């Protein structure tokens, strides 16, 4: 198979869909790999590294799309890329369709094979291709939250870890999944007081077992959320519904109950956000303020640490990429039920029911 790795063109996205080691594995399996010139520069992987691994370097993104049977990338295609996708071409990337109707309609129109990293699901019900980026984003959420709690950023002026004689900051984490647990771990490491909420008691018991005593759990409901937001300095949104739009756990009216300078980091922004006032921002312009509450809603948080993120991502995506290249998408998905769940749109038809539900469409679901 001919596999193409284009340069990411989303704002401040420095990750790349494949490392040179990934290229090496594909070439070893007798596949051809085209990499756009400079695609890996932001992650510290250069043209010569890809060439030494066996890739052919192409000058433009148009060439990569035009000459490849499968595109492997990181973020969803943006408007400039829509028309580059060919009928029947495999596009393997993060899509997050439920949060973008224009993207969904564009991919239906292009009639490609859209396989979404974030809905590939293993036998245990976990999302192996989302996990490493959730780990990065969860840890980063605390770094960014701590920074924007500083007064120059209009935060409350609170040091999360406190100092002798001054109580530590308080962090509220919504969701005890991968993002939430990594965020809680980082916040606890800084010495903050952490409350982590979820509706899944099994997850809360796990958190209670593995976290230090200054991380406490609470069952998530609107009453409890309204109580906690009044006293916490940093709120992390880490709620995920597989392939679906995130629920709004914090509504606009709740902002008035928070103290001025409270910081919200909504990691769920890719799926529409779990805060009603969430709107996607960029690393270039990461925050905005509503009702004196600082919102950090960068849609590609791991893109700020591209070396770590690219290596972590390729570690988990490469086995699926090799399988798709060796067998073709139909045979690969028939033999691997995890990969089959990654199928979102096939040649113009939506086949993942949560996408139809997100937009109230009646399109029949095929798989």
* Given 198, 266, 270, 336, the catalytic residue: 270
Q: Is 209 a catalytic residue?
A: no
The yes-or-no answer on residue 285 being catalytic is no
DSSP 290: E
- Rounded to whole angstroms, how far apart are CA atoms 37 and 4? 12
H or E, element range at 295? strand 293-296
DSSP 270: G
Nearest of 3, 21, 111 to residue 64 by alpha carbon: 3
Helical H segments across 29-148, by residue range: 47-53, 61-67, 79-82, 101-110, 131-148
Secondary structure (DSSP) of 16-59:
-S--HHHHHHHHHTT-EEEEETTTTGGGT--HHHHHHHT-EEES
Q: Active-site residue among 96, 193, 232, 295?
A: 96
Q: What's the start-to-end Cα distance of the chain, in Å?
A: 25
Cβ proximity of 2 and 71 under 8 Å: no
Assign residue 233 a region: left if phi > 0, alpha if psi is -120 to 50, beta otherwise? alpha
Distance separating alpha carbons of residues 70 and 92, to the nearest angstrom? 7
| Rounded Cα gap, residues 94 and 353, in angstroms | 17
Catalytic residues, by residue number, are 96, 270
């Amino acid at each position: 198979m001919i596999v193409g790795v284009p340069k990411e063109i989303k704002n401040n996205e420095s990750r790349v869909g494949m490392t040179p080691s990934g290229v090496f594995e594909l070439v070893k399996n007798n596949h051809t790999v085209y990499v756009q010139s400079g695609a890996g520069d932001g992650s510290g992987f250069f043209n010569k590294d890809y060439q030494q691994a066996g890739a052919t370097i192409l000058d433009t993104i148009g060439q990569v799309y035009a000459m490849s049977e499968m595109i492997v990338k990181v973020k969803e295609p943006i408007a400039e890329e829509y028309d580059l996708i060919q009928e029947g071409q495999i596009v393997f990337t993060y899509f997050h369709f439920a949060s973008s109707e224009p993207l969904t309609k564009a991919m239906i129109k292009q009639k490609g094979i859209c396989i979404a990293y974030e809905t590939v699901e293993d036998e245990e019900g976990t999302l192996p291709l989302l996990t490493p980026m959730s780990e990065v984003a969860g840890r980063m959420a605390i770094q960014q939250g701590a920074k924007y709690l500083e007064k120059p950023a209009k935060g409350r002026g609170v040091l999360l870890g406190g100092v002798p004689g001054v109580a530590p900051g308080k962090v509220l984490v919504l969701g005890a999944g991968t993002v939430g647990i990594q965020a809680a771990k980082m916040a606890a490491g800084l010495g903050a007081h952490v409350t982590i909420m979820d509706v899944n008691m099994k997850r809360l018991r796990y958190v209670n077992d593995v976290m230090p005593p200054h991380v406490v759990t609470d069952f998530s409901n609107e009453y409890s959320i309204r109580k906690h937001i009044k006293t916490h300095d940093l709120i992390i949104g880490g709620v995920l519904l597989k392939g679906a739009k995130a629920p709004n756990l914090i509504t606009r009216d709740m902002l008035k109950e928070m103290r001025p300078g409270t910081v919200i980091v909504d990691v769920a922004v890719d799926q529409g956000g779990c805060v009603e006032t969430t709107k996607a921002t960029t690393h270039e312009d990461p925050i905005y303020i509503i009702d004196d509450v600082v919102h950090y809603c960068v849609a590609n948080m791991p893109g700020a640490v591209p070396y770590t993120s690219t290596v972590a991502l390729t570690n988990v995506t490469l086995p699926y990429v090799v399988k798709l290249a060796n067998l073709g998408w139909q045979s690969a998905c028939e033999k691997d039920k995890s990969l089959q769940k990654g199928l979102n749109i096939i040649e113009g038809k939506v086949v993942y029911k949560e996408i139809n539900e997100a937009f109230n469409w009646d399109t029949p679901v095929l798989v």
